Amino acid sequence: MIIRRYLDFIWLSLFWASGLLILLVLSAMLAYLIWRGGPALSLEFLTASPRGIPLGAQGGVYPAIKGTFYLVLIAVVTAGIPGIITAIYLTEYGMQSSLKEIVNLTVQCMAGIPSIITGLFVYAFLVVQLKWGMCLMAGGIALGIMVLPVIVLTTRDAFLAVDNNYRWLGASLGVSRGYMFLRVILPQSVPAVLSGLLLAMGYAAGATAPIMVTAAVISSNSSGAWFEPVMALPYHLYILFSEHTSMDKAYGTALLLVLLLLVVNIIALWIRSWQGRDFHNDFRPK
């Protein structure tokens, strides 16, 4: 009995330790980033172009911020539309067909494609074969392919979370599925869909592998032209470190990137918490 009690105590402390370890790891990482990168963050860092020899040792990261913004925008537009429609198919039109099962399974598999493979595919297809060269559009599409399964899965879950009774009610009243979806299902799932899109944007903003061979370059003014190469924050960080340009600037860029994604994730969680509030005066029993 006493052994049992000791064992229980040991198990309990192990569980606590592993929980606290994760807490410790994250806070240590954030604290270290803020300590090392904080001094580099300044207004100039955010609004100036990289300068100095080697390039990036002085100045700021403004073009990289702009480039990342464009890349993410293109990614979420190219992936968002087919992604959401696929999710609509899966939840509203798919029924019990085997096609739906196949689509579901493939999307799961797609979510597991390593991002470097997406980059390789886009590089060979768009950059080399279609002769686009390294450009914003190719990078955006690469990121789009990467986030497509994320968007499908989050929006699918958002639609599935809507009470199925609505669908049955609609069907029993003879309302068409499209009408039902647009007027009842969609309004209720808007917050979850939006937060899913935001999470996908955050995911795209931090990805390096798909853009390092398709769009990102060491220096560019990131004008936003579709067929010009751009700078991007994650790639800039990689270059600053691997070319030994400037550790301070690298820490600053890393901190900026983390803060950016933190903000995006928090907004996404906040929007998600809207879910369940009434967006239209529906006929739910109060």
Interacting residues of 55 by C-beta distance below 8 A, sequence separation 6+: 218, 219, 245
Residue 269 interacts with another protein (CB under 8 A): yes or no: yes
Rule CB under 8 A: choose which of 38, 39, 54, 178 binds another protein. Answer: 178
Within residues 18-37, the interface with another protein by CB under 8 A covers 18-19, 21-23, 25-26, 29, 32-33
The greatest distance separating any two alpha carbons of the chain, rounded to the nearest whole angstrom, comes to 74
Residue 15 interacts with another protein (CB under 8 A): yes or no: yes
- CA of 207: how far to CAs of 22, 63, 132, 233, in Å? 23, 17, 21, 9
End-to-end CA distance of the chain: 53
DSSP 280: S
Q: Would you give the distance in Å from CA 1 to the centre of its chain? A: 51
Question: 3-class DSSP state for residue 114?
Answer: coil
Residue 1 interacts with another protein (CB under 8 A): yes or no: no
Residue 213 interacts with another protein (CB under 8 A): yes or no: yes
Residue 285 C-beta: closest distance to another protein, Å = 27
Interacting residues of 97 by C-beta distance below 8 A, sequence separation 6+: none
Rule CB under 8 A: choose which of 31, 85, 130, 171 binds another protein. Answer: 85
For 14-29, the three-class secondary structure string (H helix, E strand, C coil) is HHHHHHHHHHHHHHHH
Residue 60 C-beta: closest distance to another protein, Å = 18
Residue 219 interacts with another protein (CB under 8 A): yes or no: no
Helices H / strands E in the chain, number of each: 12, 2
Residue count, binding to another protein (CB under 8 A): 87
**Judged by CB under 8 A, which stretch of 184-192, 220-228, 241-249, 278-286 contacts another protein?**
241-249
Residue 241 interacts with another protein (CB under 8 A): yes or no: yes
Residue 13 C-beta: closest distance to another protein, Å = 10
Within residues 112-141, the interface with another protein by CB under 8 A covers 112-121, 123-125, 128
Residue 166 interacts with another protein (CB under 8 A): yes or no: no
Cβ closest to another protein, residue 11 vs residue 226: 11
Cβ closest to another protein, residue 172 vs residue 281: 172
136: tokens are 């914003």
